[in-house]
Amino acid sequence: MAFSISILIIWLITNFGNSIVIGCVSEILEGRRVEITKNLKLTFHLSGRLLMVSLVVGALVVLGFILLIFPGLIMAIIFSLSTPVMVIERLGALDSLRRSKEMSDNMWWKIFLLLAALFAMFVLSYLVAEALSIILYRYYRQILVRHVIRILLITLVEPLYPISITHLYYGLRWRRMARPLPSVHEERYLPIQEAKFCYYCGQLLPYDALYCPNCGRRL
């Protein structure tokens, strides 16, 4: 029971913390003044949608890894931008997932490399934290020291994910905005034909007429 409660608390803190960091990084990249209070209010306003997206993406990724590893990776890649999309563009849960899939098209390899690098950094930080906690535990003989060291190192590394994913979001967004517009084909206009009249009665005639339909004379 205590383990489940701790997992729930960590999940809530991670999602809300990521949202706040994404909002701050977005303001920095857009050249605006960072407002912590504003981002806190925004996170509170989007809390329901943030948790829903986190649950959906987490369930899809876990299900993909249970079935096969590859589907889980695909789910993690195509929905990796859902949180920054929701925070920055103020979209709903399903629209954020759809927008994330749209932005990740043809960018799977780049996103995969970023996620792999972040995962490697998390694993490395955890291993370093475990090594330091074991070393210090030999001297202090206190379990609390191990937990404090683990929390400190993971806390230092954790913000790298929302910072990196926000930079990726803006990189893909600016790249799409910088794409040249598709060339517009020049319209082909038919040559303007002069009006044709009958020399005898003044009747307006078709351009290829040989006889006047009014007076019957040959032109």
Please give the pLDDT value at position 195: 56
Query: Could you read off the pLDDT of 167-217 as tens digits, one per residue?
Result: 999 988 887 776 555 554 444 444 555 556 666 666 666 666 666 777 766
pLDDT at 3 over 60: yes
Task: Count Cβ atoms below 10 Å from residue 201 Cβ, excluding itself.
Answer: 12
Please give the pLDDT value at position 146: 67
**Average pLDDT over the chain, rounded to whole?**
80
Please give the pLDDT value at position 46: 87
Task: Count Cβ atoms below 10 Å from residue 76 Cβ, excluding itself.
Answer: 19
Instruction: Compare 31 and 132 and report the one with higher pLDDT.
Output: 31
Task: Count Cβ atoms below 10 Å from residue 183 Cβ, excluding itself.
Answer: 6
Please give the pLDDT value at position 145: 67
Instruction: Compare 99 and 141 and report the one with higher pLDDT.
Output: 99
Please give the pLDDT value at position 8: 82
Percent of the chain whose predicted confidence (pLDDT) is above 70: 74
The rounded distance, in Å, linking the Cα atoms of 201 and 182 is 52
Instruction: Compare 153 and 188 and report the one with higher pLDDT.
Output: 153
Q: What is the DSSP letter of 199?
A: T
| Lowest mean pLDDT segment, chosen from 31-35, 50-54, 72-76, 202-206 | 202-206
pLDDT at 47 over 50: yes
Please give the pLDDT value at position 199: 62
pLDDT at 60 over 80: yes
Q: Backbone phi, then psi, for 205, in 5-degree steps? A: -120, 155
Q: Beta-strand (E) ranges in the chain? A: 196-197, 204-205
The rounded distance, in Å, linking the Cα atoms of 147 and 199 is 106
Please give the pLDDT value at position 139: 66
